[in-house]
Amino acid sequence: MIGLDTNVVVRHLVHDDPNQSKAATRAFAGLTPGEPGLLTTVVLIETYWVLTRGYKLAVADVVSALGALCGFG
């Protein structure tokens, strides 16, 4: 199991830094049923906070994106 931290999740969703975003997207692309990713509650809450407060993204968009990452969207 691969633990994904807030920075990786934010870079994967926002794509604001070409190199870091590419690396984050590769990390997500490498996840498989045999080698799944782990998004902890803390990471989800931190990501929500960073995206809504730091990046000023709409709450509905952030909830939708996080839901999709968790397999609910």
pTM, whole model, 2 decimals?
0.91
Going by C-alpha positions, the residue among 72, 69, 73 that lies closest to residue 31 is 69
Q: Are 8 and 24 in contact (CB under 8 A)?
A: yes
pLDDT at 73 over 80: no
Query: What does DSSP say about strands 2-3 and 37-38: parallel, antiparallel, or unpaired?
Result: parallel
Confidence of residue 64 (pLDDT cuts 50, 70, 90): very high
8-44 pLDDT, tens digit each: 999 999 999 999 999 999 999 999 999 999 999 999 9
Are 19 and 55 contacting, i.e. CB atoms less than 8 angstroms apart? no
Q: What is the pLDDT of residue 72?
A: 80
